[in-house]
Amino acid sequence: MNIKLILASFLLLSGSAVHADVLDDIKPLQQRWAEVNYQLDEGQRESAFEALLQQADAVVQANTDKAEAYIWRGIIASSYAGAKGGLGALSLTEQSKADLEQAIALDDTALQGSAYTSLGVLYYKVPGWPVGFGSDKKARAMLTKAVELNPQGIDPNYFYAEFLLEERDYKAAMRYLELAKHAPARPDRLLADSGRQQEIAALERKLTKKLK
């Protein structure tokens, strides 16, 4: 067999194996994040997210060139900031932003563009200047890109709908919320999907009132 063909095959298989490794590494983070976010009482979430962030640090250290690791550390840092609240959470949002930007630089299509979704959420939830880096304009750009990369996904459509509700574009928000509501199930993330569907139902009730 041609030596170049052998080498190319080896590199292809090696790349697939490495990619599989990072996906295996982030699975415990995904599962625990869903448990903390949807099953723990509000008062327990801060310390649980703090511990989970330390686990995410280890995953990033083992996968410094993989966007997926940075995406999940960014998501966890953002969730930890939400649980912590106040000005003390701003450094966590900065950390999250840096991780998500690093993920985009490495591979902006990783996890179907999840970095854009999470970064968009940060931009519309974090206060603007001079307190924070929040920006509705950047939020819209990030969320639009997220939906473009994953048009049927539950998360990008839900968060874009939530953003559009805040922008008082209620009809457009309902369109995206319907897409989120009917998004394909993710067999490996059933708890996260169940929790998100509850949030979708709550947002739908708000939108229905606005559209009357």
Q: What is the DSSP string of 135-188?
A: -HHHHHHHHHHHHHHSTT-HHHHHHHHHHHHHTT-HHHHHHHHHHHHTPPP-GG
In a domain, 181, yes or no: no
Q: Which residues contact 146 (CB under 8 A, 6 or more apart)?
A: 113, 114, 116, 117, 120, 153, 155, 156, 159, 160
In a domain, 98, yes or no: yes
- Name the percent of the chain lying above pLDDT 70: 91
In a domain, 25, yes or no: yes
- CATH number of the CATH domain containing 30: 1.25.40.10
Q: What is the pLDDT of residues 129-171, one digit of tens each?
A: 999 999 999 999 999 999 999 999 999 999 999 999 999 999 9
In a domain, 39, yes or no: yes
In a domain, 132, yes or no: no
At residue 7, the pLDDT reads 37
Q: Using DSSP, how many helices (H) and how many strands (E) does the chain show? A: 9, 0
User: Would you give the distance in Å from CA 110 to the centre of its chain?
Assistant: 11
Confidence of residue 20 (pLDDT cuts 50, 70, 90): low
In a domain, 209, yes or no: no
In a domain, 150, yes or no: no
Domain total in the chain = 1
CA nearest 103: which of 87, 118, 121, 81? 118
In a domain, 135, yes or no: no
For residue 30, the SS3 value is: helix
**Which residue range forms the structural domain that includes residue 70?**
7-110
